[in-house]
Amino acid sequence: MKVILKRFLSIIPVLLGVIVMIFIMLRIVPGDPAAILLGEHVSPDTVERLTKSMNLDQPMGVQLLSYIWNALRGDLGMSYTMKRPVTELILGAFPYTVKLSLMAAVFAWAVGLISGIIAAITQNRIPDRLFMGFSLAGVSVPVFMTSLFLQYMLAFKIRAFSLTSDGSLYSMILPAIALGWNSAGSIARMTRSSLIEVMQADYIDTARAKGLARRAVILGHALKNSMLPVITMMALQLSSMMSGAVITESIFAIPGIGRLATEAIQKRDMPLLQGTVLFTTVIVVVGNLIADLLYSVLDPRIRKEA
Amino acid sequence: MSTENVLEIRGLKSSFFTDKGEVPAVNGVDLVIPRGKIVGLVGESGCGKSMTAKSVMGLLKYPGRIVEGEILLGGKDLTKLSDRELREHCGKDISMIFQEPMTSLNPVLKVGRQVQETLLVHDKNIGKEEAKRQVIDIFKKVGIPEAEKRYSCYPHELSGGLRQRVMIAMAMVCRPALLIADEPTTALDVTIEAQILRLMKDLCRQNNMSVLIITHNLGVVAEICDDIYVMYAGKIMEHAPVFELFDHTRHPYTKGLLASIPRIGDNPEFLHTIPGVVPNMLHLPKGCAFANRCELVQERCRSQMPELVTAAPDHECRCFLALEEEDQNGTGRKGGGDR
Amino acid sequence: MKKTDEKMPSGAETKLTGEERAPEKTAQELASEIGEKDGLKEELFRMCRQNHVAALSAAVILIIILLAVFAPVIAPYKEAEQDLMSRLQGPSMAHLFGTDELGRDVFSRILYGARVSLIVGIFPSIISLVIGIVMGLLAGFIGGWVDYVIMRLADIMLSFPSLLLTMVIMYTLGRFSNSIVCIFIALSLVGWASVSRVVRSQTLSLKETEYVEAARSIGVGSGKIMFRHILPNCIPSLIVLYTLSVPSSILSESTLSFLGIGVQPPAASWGLMVNQSKQFLFTQPWLALAPSLAIMVIVLAFNFLGDGLRDVLDPYMKTQ
Distance of CA A158 to the CA centre of its chain: 30
- A216 and B CB contact within 8 Å: yes
- Is B212:B33 a contact under the CB 8 Å cutoff? yes
One-letter amino acid for residue A79 of the chain = S
* Interface contact flag, B219 C14, Cβ < 8 Å: yes
Cα–Cα dist C30/C23, whole Å: 11
Chain B partners (3+ C-beta pairs within 8 A): A, C
Q: What is the reported pLDDT for C10?
A: 33
Name chain B contacts of A200, Cβ cutoff 8 Å: 61
- Rounded to the nearest integer, the mean pLDDT of chain B is 83
- pLDDT tens digits for range A243-280: 888 899 988 888 999 999 988 888 878 889 889 999 99
Least CB–CB distance from C10: residue in B63, B187, B261:
B187
* Interface contact flag, A205 B90, Cβ < 8 Å: no
Q: Between the CA atoms of A69, A70, A71 and A74, what dihedral angle is there, to the nearest 10 degrees? A: 130
The conformation of residue B266, written as its DSSP 8-state character, comes to S
Q: State which residue of chain B sits closest to C8, comparing Cα positions.
A: B187
Beta bridge partners of B228: B40, B240
Name chain B contacts of C19, Cβ cutoff 8 Å: 273-277
Does the domain spanning A94-305 belong to CATH 3.30.70.1400? no
- pLDDT tens digits for range B326-337: 544 444 444 433
Task: Determine the residue among A145, A158, A276 to mutate to test chain C binding: the one whose Cβ has the most chain C Cβ atoms within 10 Å.
Answer: A145
One-letter amino acid for residue C10 of the chain = S
Collapsing DSSP to helix, strand or coil, B253 comes out as helix
- pLDDT tens digits for range B284-296: 777 888 888 888 8
- C3 and B CB contact within 8 Å: no
Task: Determine the residue among B106, B113, B116 to mutate to test chain A binding: the one whose Cβ has the most chain A Cβ atoms within 10 Å.
Answer: B106
pLDDT band at C14; cut points 50, 70, 90:
very low
Q: What is the reported pLDDT for A304?
A: 55
- C171 and A CB contact within 8 Å: yes
pLDDT band at A33; cut points 50, 70, 90:
low
Name chain B contacts of C35, Cβ cutoff 8 Å: 19-20
Q: With 70 as the cut, is the pLDDT of residue C290 above it?
A: yes
Question: Among B90-104, C176-190, C294-308, whose mean pLDDT is lowest?
Answer: C176-190
Q: State which residue of chain B sits closest to C22, comparing Cα positions.
A: B45
Cα–Cα dist B106/A226, whole Å: 12
Among A259, A263, A241, residue whose Cα is nearest residue A250: A259
ipTM: 0.83
**Cα–Cα distances in angstroms (integers) from residue A54 to residues A35, A67, A258, A298, C282, in the given order:** 12, 11, 26, 48, 47
* Interface contact flag, C175 A31, Cβ < 8 Å: yes
Name chain A contacts of B92, Cβ cutoff 8 Å: 211
- C11 and B CB contact within 8 Å: yes
Collapsing DSSP to helix, strand or coil, B25 comes out as strand
Q: State which residue of chain A sits closest to C292, comparing Cα positions.
A: A145
The CB density around residue C223, as the number of other CB atoms within 10 Å, is 10
Percent of chain B exceeding pLDDT 70 equals 91
Least CB–CB distance from C156: residue in A21, A140, A193:
A21
Q: What is the reported pLDDT for C37?
A: 45
Q: With 80 as the cut, is the pLDDT of residue C309 above it?
A: yes
- C292 and A CB contact within 8 Å: yes
pLDDT band at C263; cut points 50, 70, 90:
confident
Which 37-96 residues of chain B touch chain C by CB within 8 A? 44-46, 50, 61-64
Q: With 50 as the cut, is the pLDDT of residue C13 above it?
A: no
Q: Which residue has the higher pLDDT, C51 or C56?
A: C56
Most confidently predicted of C98-107, C134-143, C169-178: C134-143
- Is B306:B320 a contact under the CB 8 Å cutoff? yes
* Interface contact flag, A270 C258, Cβ < 8 Å: no
- pLDDT tens digits for range A114-133: 999 999 888 778 888 888 88
* Strand arrangement of the beta sheet that strand B5-18 belongs to: B21-34, B5-18, B64-73, B76-77
Task: Determine the residue among A36, A148, A157 to mutate to test chain C binding: the one whose Cβ has the most chain C Cβ atoms within 10 Å.
Answer: A148
Size of interface A-C (CB pairs under 8 A): 141
Q: Which domains does chain C have, with CATH numbers?
A: 41-78+96-319 (1.10.3720.10)
Nearest-5° angle of CA B316, CA B321, CA B326?
70
One-letter amino acid for residue C77 of the chain = Y
Name chain B contacts of C26, Cβ cutoff 8 Å: 61
What are the phi and psi torsion angles at B254 (to 5°)?
A: -60, -40
Cα–Cα dist B193/B113, whole Å: 25
pLDDT band at C36; cut points 50, 70, 90:
very low
Q: How many Cα atoms occupy the beta-carbon half-sphere of B157 within 13 Å?
A: 18
- C35 and B CB contact within 8 Å: yes
Q: What is the reported pLDDT for C2?
A: 36
Q: If you compute the radius of gyration of chain A from its CA atoms, what whole number of angstroms results?
A: 24
Least CB–CB distance from C281: residue in A139, A148, A233:
A148
Q: With 50 as the cut, is the pLDDT of residue C20 above it?
A: no
- pLDDT tens digits for range B130-171: 999 999 988 988 888 888 898 988 888 888 888 888 988 888
Q: With 70 as the cut, is the pLDDT of residue C33 above it?
A: no
Name chain B contacts of A124, Cβ cutoff 8 Å: 62
* Interface contact flag, A208 B117, Cβ < 8 Å: no
Q: If you compute the radius of gyration of chain C from its CA atoms, what whole number of angstroms results?
A: 25
Cα–Cα dist C60/B326, whole Å: 72
- Is C97:C107 a contact under the CB 8 Å cutoff? yes
Q: What is the reported pLDDT for C150?
A: 92
Among B116, B152, B149, residue whose Cα is nearest residue B134: B116
Residue burial A196-224, b: 16+ Cβ < 10 Å; e: rest? bbbbebbbbbbbbbbbbbeebbbebbbbb
The CB density around residue B264, as the number of other CB atoms within 10 Å, is 4
Least CB–CB distance from B45: residue in C14, C19, C21:
C21
One-letter amino acid for residue A1 of the chain = M
Among B89, B95, B65, residue whose Cα is nearest residue B76: B89
Q: Quote the minimal CA–CA distance from C308 to chain A in Å.
A: 12
Least CB–CB distance from A299: residue in B83, B98, B108:
B108
Q: State which residue of chain B sits closest to A297, comparing Cα positions.
A: B108
| Per-domain residue ranges of chain B | 102-175, 252-329
- Is A169:A98 a contact under the CB 8 Å cutoff? no
* Interface contact flag, A212 B117, Cβ < 8 Å: yes
Distance of CA C266 to the CA centre of its chain: 28
- For the segment A178-200, the average pLDDT, to the nearest whole number, is 88
Least CB–CB distance from B187: residue in C9, C22, C34:
C9
- B257 and C CB contact within 8 Å: yes
Q: What is the reported pLDDT for B337?
A: 38
Cα–Cα dist A182/A247, whole Å: 13
Question: Among A137-146, B103-112, B267-276, C257-266, whose mean pLDDT is lowest?
Answer: B267-276
Q: With 60 as the cut, is the pLDDT of residue C176 above it?
A: no
- Cis-peptide, bond into residue C265, ω within 30° of zero: no
What is the SS3 string spanning A221-258?
A: HHHHHHHHHHHHHHHHHHHHHHHHHHHHHHHCCCCCHH
* Interface contact flag, C24 B62, Cβ < 8 Å: no
Q: With 50 as the cut, is the pLDDT of residue B224 above it?
A: yes
- Rounded to the nearest integer, the mean pLDDT of chain A is 83
Least CB–CB distance from C156: residue in A18, A156, A243:
A18
* Interface contact flag, B217 C27, Cβ < 8 Å: no
- Is A142:A181 a contact under the CB 8 Å cutoff? no
Chain A partners (3+ C-beta pairs within 8 A): B, C
Question: Among A222-226, C202-206, C231-235, C315-319, whose mean pLDDT is lowest?
Answer: C315-319
Q: What is the reported pLDDT for B268?
A: 62
* Interface contact flag, A208 B59, Cβ < 8 Å: yes
Continuous segment of H or E residues that includes residue B180: strand B178-182
Cα–Cα dist A169/A107, whole Å: 13
- A201 and B CB contact within 8 Å: yes
- For the segment C198-204, the average pLDDT, to the nearest whole number, is 87
Q: What is the reported pLDDT for C130?
A: 92
* Interface contact flag, B96 A225, Cβ < 8 Å: no
Beta bridge partners of B17: B22
* Interface contact flag, A304 B157, Cβ < 8 Å: yes
Q: With 70 as the cut, is the pLDDT of residue B324 above it?
A: no
Distance of CA B278 to the CA centre of its chain: 19
Question: Among A213-222, A265-274, B46-55, C168-177, whose mean pLDDT is lowest?
Answer: C168-177
Q: Quote the minimal CA–CA distance from C11 to chain B in Å.
A: 6
Among B24, B107, B103, B37, residue whose Cα is nearest residue B67: B24
Name chain C contacts of A280, Cβ cutoff 8 Å: 161, 164
Q: What is the reported pLDDT for C132?
A: 92
- Is C287:C106 a contact under the CB 8 Å cutoff? yes
| Per-domain residue ranges of chain A | 2-74, 94-305
Name chain A contacts of B135, Cβ cutoff 8 Å: none
Percent of chain C exceeding pLDDT 70 equals 79
Size of interface A-B (CB pairs under 8 A): 88
Q: Is B256 left (phi over 0), alpha (psi -120 to 50) or beta?
A: alpha
Q: What is the reported pLDDT for C6?
A: 33
Q: What is the reported pLDDT for A30?
A: 58
Continuous segment of H or E residues that includes residue A19: helix A2-27
Give me the DSSP letters along chain C.
Answer: -HHHHHHS--SS---SSSS--PPPPPHHHHHHHHT----HHHHHHHHHHH-HHHHHHHHHHHHHHHHHHTHHHH-SS-TT---GGG-SPPS-SSSTT-B-TT--BHHHHHHHHHHHHHHHHHHHHHHHHHHHHHHHHHHHHH-HHHHHHHHHHHHHHHHS-HHHHHHHHHHHHTTTS-HHHHHHHHHHHHTHHHHHHHHHHHHHHHHTSHHHHHHHHTT--HHHIIIIIIHHHHHHHHHHHHHHHHHHHHHHHHHHHHTTSSSPTTS--HHHHHHHHGGGTTT-THHHHHHHHHHHHHHHHHHHHHHHHHHHH-TTPPP-
- pLDDT tens digits for range A35-51: 665 666 667 777 777 66
The CB density around residue A28, as the number of other CB atoms within 10 Å, is 11
Name chain C contacts of B14, Cβ cutoff 8 Å: none
Collapsing DSSP to helix, strand or coil, A32 comes out as coil
Size of interface B-C (CB pairs under 8 A): 88
Cα–Cα dist A189/C306, whole Å: 14
- Is B268:B223 a contact under the CB 8 Å cutoff? no
pLDDT band at A1; cut points 50, 70, 90:
low
**Cα–Cα distances in angstroms (integers) from residue A139 to residues A27, A134, C42, C240, C296, in the given order:** 35, 9, 29, 16, 10
Question: Among B11-25, C37-51, C59-73, whose mean pLDDT is lowest?
Answer: C37-51
- C285 and A CB contact within 8 Å: yes
Q: Which residue has the higher pLDDT, C74 or C193?
A: C193
Name chain A contacts of C160, Cβ cutoff 8 Å: 18, 239, 277, 281, 284
Q: What is the reported pLDDT for A176?
A: 92
